[in-house]
Structure 1
Amino acid sequence: MKSRINKVSGIAIAVATALTSNISIAQETTETANTGLERIEVTARKSVESLQEVPVAVTSISADELSEKGISVITEVQQFSPNTTLQSSRGTNSTITAFIRGVGQQDPLWGYEAGVGIYINDVYVARPQGAVLDLLDIERVEVLRGPQGTLYGKNTIGGAIKYVTKAMSGDGEFKIQGTVGSYGQKDLKLTGQFPLIEDKLFVGFGVASLERDGFGEFLISAIPGEDKENYNKDLTASRITLEYHATDDLFFSLNWDKTKDKSNSKGGYRLLPSILTDAPVPDSVFDSYTSLPTWNEVELEGISFTANWSVSDNTTLKYVYSARESYSPTNIDFDNTALQIFDVPAIYDDEQSTHELQLNNYGDNYKFVSGLYYYDGESCGQFQAILTVLGNTAFGAPGLTRETGGCSDSQSTAAYAQLSYDLSDKWSVTAGARYTKDKKQANVYNGLVFDVVYPESGWVSGYVRPDGQLVPTVLDAEDDWSKFTPRIGVEYQASDDLMFFTSFAQGFKSGTFNPRATTTEPAANPEDVDSFELGMKSEWLENRLRANVTLFSLDHKDRQYISVLPGATTADLNQRLGNIGSSEGQGVEAEFTYLATDNLMLSANIGYIDSSFKEVFDTDPVTGVQFDKSDRFSISNTPEYTYNLGANYTIESDIGDFILNASYYYRDDYVLFEEDSLLTQDGYGLANVSVKWYSTEGNWSASLHVKNLTDEEYMIGGYQFVAPQADGSYLPGLGGDNTLIGYFGDPRTVSLTVGYQF
């Protein structure tokens, strides 16, 4: 799987010496102070437009805002986008759980498709492993809410997150930034650019080393000499960009990036004491126990090449190629004890390549965007569910392992077009559509091994992996689907500062095979989301107050879901994937920015959603009768309401400007699982304060950030393998123990960052 990147990287280095560039995608621009709020430009519709002109619910956060608020990782962006959930997943720092308007994908296993698309510039990142991006050399982050199936394609039924890197100025620049903080935080970032050929060829780079001690520790570890830090951070990231401006109308870019996260695997917090060993509920939610190695790894590498040709004053042609791969060996101790009650060492191994050809044409009264797209991806993996205690007691064997693995290969081709046409000075219409053809081939091997089996030799000291495949292939199949996803809208420009819009949009999440299959079974069909929006983009009080409001409703059909089937013992991991039913949601999103004085800016964003399952169909395994169990289901990772209240104040002085930021972010209660969830996080609020200083000359800066000021404890993930009883007790689940586990967000942290640029 490394061969594709290595081969392309070699070509890239050769090409880079002659030409390359990073396409300049719209930057935010600031008008003079007297004009009020800054004009914000976005590329939500794959063309440069003002935020206030785009009939889409989108939040844009600039590089300056990210820096001044101390936002260092993409999951923190959820605080500034209504009805948005971006969390680190359960076992690692780098795997993302993303939901927008109640639509997403919780399970990060290979083969499953996302509900929220993640993009680095124009490149789609298909897998959640490594998608918790640290913000290095970034221009802005855009959050597009609602289905984006026309312009962005499949797997954006909830929305899309766009990570936009900085374009180069062509001048020589260098910046160094260091951070120290709580829990031994030590970060170092270097970014810069310089011309190789004046006005023609530029090179840019960024490197980062991010380290932090654990928020907690593994109180007991069965592996002697293992690092016992829990929730620590040990990450390095690098990026190189080359730009070549061949002529005024033609330029090229080549980008390479690599990230390596060697942070420990995260241990969960036992919400119930173990009934099989000495593992009581720890005093700290960041403490845990484990019988697995604590090491973990997420390694990502990718390149992209872009060519942009201005055919004429109103026509551009763009080509984008990308190749990405990731490799993640990981240790997940589901039971979080020092016994092998329910241990799951795993490997994720993915690669993808994409091609996109885009033709844009603009006239006095229209904008036309069109393109062709091709995606080819292979997502592979394996996990071993080790249940040694159960193996000894139930079977008299040295151990018991359920070994599961396989690959899911996908090819997707699409053609899309969207036209925005002005009917008059006030009325305009938008119409677009995308046709997608998906093909997927999958194989799964799954079976029981009466031994303790790890993915590779040397996984634990002295372990040698048996040769050959230990379990049978249970599924080897392929299927294909085609989808037509339209978008239609009407806009009314009541005045220069006031626009109303309404739209209908559709998106789909690709069909997929069950990566945990225990027998041959058909693929689950694609999911569909139909969405209606009614919105307003407005500016008031001579451009000092911005108010953007969107009302929405969505119908989420053919939802894919894993159902657990009964077996002879709790070791039977029989699971079935199917389209179980549908859900719906209605809500509102409001974003306000008010420039109260030239130095004081106030902001508020509010999200509300009423979402629920309409129907969930299952079949009684005894009678074969179908029944509706929607009363047992809830929309996960989706608070009924969220809000963020913020203030930004500038103090001008003889030694420079001080920017003071304060915000309060609130999330209502939410469940972690759809079916019979035992894990509910009560509503909580996060208070954050920051101050950033810019020197008079503009080359020095320093900032102090305090996050989660009141040290709130809040759950962002978990596992539940117990059965609650009427008397409040629990029956043990898989592995024979009380496995009810929570993972938590960051505690209070304080950090100081100093930067110098020249």
Structure 2
Amino acid sequence: MNKFVKTALMAGAAWSALSTFAMAQDVAGPGDEATSVDEIVVTARRRDEALKDVPIAVSAISSERLDQTGASDITALQQQTPNATVQIARGSNSTLISFIRGVGQQDPLWGFEPGVGLYIDDVYVARPQGAVLDIFDVNRIEVLRGPQGTLYGRNTIGGAIKYVTKRLGNEPSFLGRGTIGSYDQRDFLMSASVPLSDTFAVGGAVAVYNRDGFGQNLTTGQEHYDKDVKAFRASAEWTPSDSFFLRLAYDRVEDDSSPRHGHREVNSTTGGFTPPADIYDTQAGLTGEQSVVTEGVALTAEYVLSDSLTFKSISAYRSGDTQTVIDFDQTPLPTLDVPAIYSDDQFTQELQLLFTGERWSGVAGLFYLDGTSSGVFDTIAGNLGVVIAAAGSVETESFSAFADFSFDLSDRLHASIGGRYTRDDKTGEVFRAFYLGATRSPLTGGTPRAILQTRTNYTASDTFEQFTPRASISYDFSDDLTGYASVGQGFKSGGWDMRGDAFLVPQTVNGYEPETVTTYEIGLKGSAFDRRLSFASAVFYSDFKDQQITTQQVATPPATGIASVVDNAGASTIYGFELEGTAYLTDSLTSTVSLGYLKNEFDEFITLVTGTPVDISNSRTPQNSPEWSAFWSLTHSSTVAGGDLRITPSVSYRSDFHLFDAPDPVLDQDGYALVDLAIIWRAPSGAYEFGVVGRNLTDEEYKVGGYNFAGATFNNSISAFYGPPRTVSASVTLRF
């Protein structure tokens, strides 16, 4: 634990610097907004609590703060949250990739489980397609760091992201916003709610996002990195008495943006193709439909049974369909072209009993999920003269029972204990075959023809069971300062590799087992200097075992093919610290800071690609784990023309990191900083608002994803996907 002690000292030094800075100021108290940790209410433990009292590392980002910093979608969390990666997946426009504290999921292929759970109003979203949520009609976003296996269950070993929408009020409301900006950005948002009686209200929101591409497909002439998204949300709320609440909500997202193929980073070995001069341009030749549709309906009921007992039910159904094309080789040649179709659906039911006593509180419940995830894709390998077709599905029936209780051992000493039992029953079907001809297979709508060789064809079933406990103890050093220590565990379910080639890798039919993370954490939260400084800090140490790691295997003649191998190949030690703080420097000046330090190291990395187990951990580095992440913003408020003017410059920083476990000088990303500026003026009545937002003002070029198929077999296909360039937008908002 020497590393853990060292990290604690570093965290203390960083916090000391921030608190000393705040103490030196002649400051005034905070304004009316709920920004201190004892004012912010979160539901991280499935019940309403002040952030200060929650023994979990939680970032709670309000809609006001999101507006102030010009955040447009959920990926803005990466800039403002320490030790978090929240990005658009490679080759996609709306698929989410999330890592927290170095734990997550880069590969969004169906059948693979995420490592960070996403929730929309407490409804679990099992698949990442269509999950890059645009920020509208939102109350706050909570980011729970560290394993959340007790209260949120399977697939939250890195943490959880909770998207919390606004409840309808008992007064009519309307918001309309129009935005224009760089690259012919044209966005429109409208939301409204209307109470139809004293107990019943309806509301809805619609958003349309359009933007030309940052680049162009030089082969087809299509826009590249453009945006064409429509989102819709509707809800109805019924509150017949103080003890009963019922909400029916529906949401739908349609993404018809152009295919995103990426940028070739090196010269090709065939055809003489060189990297395009503009990093947002591509020479990809694969054409086809790009369409993502996700939708869901949820029914939430709350019934207050007594002063100490509340019952809650959350019933939900979600589905998604994706058609996409990805040209891995980034040339007009059909060297490595992948058309793909994904489909998923899920039904979830959660029942909760919330308890409140004089010196204790807690929640106990049951959770059920019935879901199916399926897909088909081709790997058109022109150099080999074949197409490799892969198809399959995973059916999951999951049941869990959980409980978490907190006890006041004294006026200042508190303890909590909880646990969750989860049982996953899964059935996987995997099919993989070669067809002659470097064109689409019959599985994706290509010319009907006989199978050249069946590589994989099996059905398997398995049951994965896990108990994930959590315990914590906290102490109120004062009314404004709380410290805590906790230990918690989470797991990600096992399964089968949907790309598995049983001809090359026979053990793929055995699947892989769950992976687990156990995290030890100490934290300090609170406010100081008459609440002029609000902060939350945490130091953590994680033991990551049985990591599910994907390794690509390319076979050359006389053996032919490309396949992935998924094994429980790794184990890691992860430790670091996190610090978030808000200082009210004067009546008109507020500063927000976050800082994350992360050390993520493989202890073991066993590969079977060579045929014999070999530990190559000394040559591997965990992906998406920058050692340092930081954010700083300064908001200046003043009265101009009778209205409220807020100017917020901000800077975010990420140190160098690897996109893949195997370091690659072509795809590794150096450290970079993003500079943003938001200027918002609101009229005295609050009825209208004008805003100007500049993002990435220094036009930083930085990678967020990539593919690596080096060598002559696949035309030296190394490609990268980049974050947005400098953009400026202006908006007008009407409210009443």
Determine which of 591, 601, 604 is the counterpart of 2:590.
601
Determine which of 492, 503, 509 is the counterpart of 1:521.
509
Instruction: State the partner residue of 1:11.
Output: none
Shift of 1:584: 1.1
Give structure 1 regions of 4+ aligned residues with deviation exceeding 6 angstroms.
Answer: 455-459, 467-470
SS at 1:65 equivalent: helix
Q: Is the 8 A contact 2:522 2:539 kept in 1?
A: yes
Instruction: State the partner residue of 2:9.
Output: none
Distance in 1 (alpha carbons) for counterparts of 2:222 and 2:111:
32
Q: Which has the higher contact order (CA 8 A, sep 6+)?
A: 2
Instruction: State the partner residue of 1:350.
Output: 344
Matched positions, count: 700
Shift of 1:60: 0.7
SS at 1:190 equivalent: strand
Shift of 1:270: 0.8
Distance in 2 (alpha carbons) for counterparts of 1:628 and 1:31:
54
**Within the alignment, does 1:437 sit opposite 2:423 as a pair?**
yes
Determine which of 221, 236, 248 is the counterpart of 2:230.
236
**Within the alignment, does 1:475 sit opposite 2:433 as a pair?**
no
Select between 34-43 and 576-585 the one with higher mean Cα deviation: 34-43
In structure 2, relative to structure 1, the CA distance for the partners of 1:254 and 1:468 (3 Å cut) is: farther
Residue-by-residue CA offset, 1:120-144 (whole Å, 9 max, x unaligned): 0111111111111111211111100
Shift of 1:592: 1.2
Shift of 1:247: 1.9
Which residues in structure 2 correspond to 1:693-708 (within 5 Å)? 693-708=681-696
Distance in 1 (alpha carbons) for counterparts of 2:243 and 2:664:
56
Instruction: State the partner residue of 1:579.
Output: 568
Distance in 2 (alpha carbons) for counterparts of 1:659 and 1:314:
43
SS at 1:156 equivalent: coil
Q: Is the 8 A contact 2:312 2:352 kept in 1?
A: yes
In structure 2, relative to structure 1, the CA distance for the partners of 1:235 and 1:549 (3 Å cut) is: same
Shift of 1:275: 2.1
Select between 485-494 and 568-577 the one with higher mean Cα deviation: 568-577
Q: Percent identity?
A: 39
**Within the alignment, does 1:744 sit opposite 2:700 as a pair?**
no
SS at 1:389 equivalent: coil
**Within the alignment, does 1:539 sit opposite 2:527 as a pair?**
yes
Instruction: State the partner residue of 2:25.
Output: none
Determine which of 382, 388, 403 is the counterpart of 1:417.
403
Which residue identity lines up with residue 48 of structure 1 in the other structure?
D
Distance in 1 (alpha carbons) for counterparts of 2:138 and 2:35:
25
**Within the alignment, does 1:454 sit opposite 2:440 as a pair?**
yes
Instruction: State the partner residue of 1:56.
Output: 56
Instruction: State the partner residue of 2:388.
Output: 402
Shift of 1:511: 0.6
Distance in 2 (alpha carbons) for counterparts of 1:467 and 1:243:
56
Q: CA RMSD, aligned part only?
A: 1.9
Using structure 1 for the length normalisation, give the TM-score: 0.90
SS at 2:510 equivalent: coil
Q: Is the 8 A contact 2:84 2:100 kept in 1?
A: yes
SS at 2:332 equivalent: coil
Instruction: State the partner residue of 2:332.
Output: 338
Shift of 1:572: 1.1
Distance in 1 (alpha carbons) for counterparts of 2:33 and 2:179:
35
Unaligned runs of 5+ in 1: 1-29, 222-226, 392-399, 723-730
Which residues in structure 2 correspond to 1:185-204 (within 5 Å)? 185-196=185-196, 198-204=197-203
Determine which of 518, 541, 547 is the counterpart of 1:559.
547
Q: Is the 8 A contact 2:549 2:570 kept in 1?
A: no
Instruction: State the partner residue of 2:318.
Output: 324
Residue-by-residue CA offset, 1:471-530 (whole Å, 9 max, x unaligned): 575221010011000001110111001111000000000011111122262121000000
Shift of 1:389: 3.4
In structure 2, relative to structure 1, the CA distance for the partners of 1:36 and 1:327 (3 Å cut) is: closer
Distance in 1 (alpha carbons) for counterparts of 2:346 and 2:75:
23
Instruction: State the partner residue of 1:757.
Output: 735
Distance in 1 (alpha carbons) for counterparts of 2:421 and 2:668:
39
Residue-by-residue CA offset, 1:552-584 (whole Å, 9 max, x unaligned): 000110001223446343841233221102011
Instruction: State the partner residue of 1:282.
Output: 276
**Within the alignment, does 1:256 sit opposite 2:250 as a pair?**
yes
Q: Is the 8 A contact 1:457 1:464 kept in 2?
A: no
Instruction: State the partner residue of 2:11.
Output: none
In structure 2, relative to structure 1, the CA distance for the partners of 1:182 and 1:358 (3 Å cut) is: same
Distance in 2 (alpha carbons) for counterparts of 1:233 and 1:408:
31
Using structure 2 for the length normalisation, give the TM-score: 0.92
In structure 2, relative to structure 1, the CA distance for the partners of 1:479 and 1:685 (3 Å cut) is: same
Distance in 1 (alpha carbons) for counterparts of 2:439 and 2:153:
40
Which residue identity lines up with residue 265 of structure 2 in the other structure?
L
Which residue identity lines up with residue 728 of structure 2 in the other structure?
V
Which residue identity lines up with residue 622 of structure 2 in the other structure?
I
Residue-by-residue CA offset, 1:444-467 (whole Å, 9 max, x unaligned): 1101100244367996xxx65569
**Within the alignment, does 1:655 sit opposite 2:655 as a pair?**
no
In structure 2, relative to structure 1, the CA distance for the partners of 1:474 and 1:105 (3 Å cut) is: same
SS at 2:576 equivalent: strand
Unaligned runs of 5+ in 2: 1-28, 503-507
Distance in 2 (alpha carbons) for counterparts of 1:682 and 1:658:
36
Instruction: State the partner residue of 2:152.
Output: 152
**Within the alignment, does 1:206 sit opposite 2:205 as a pair?**
yes
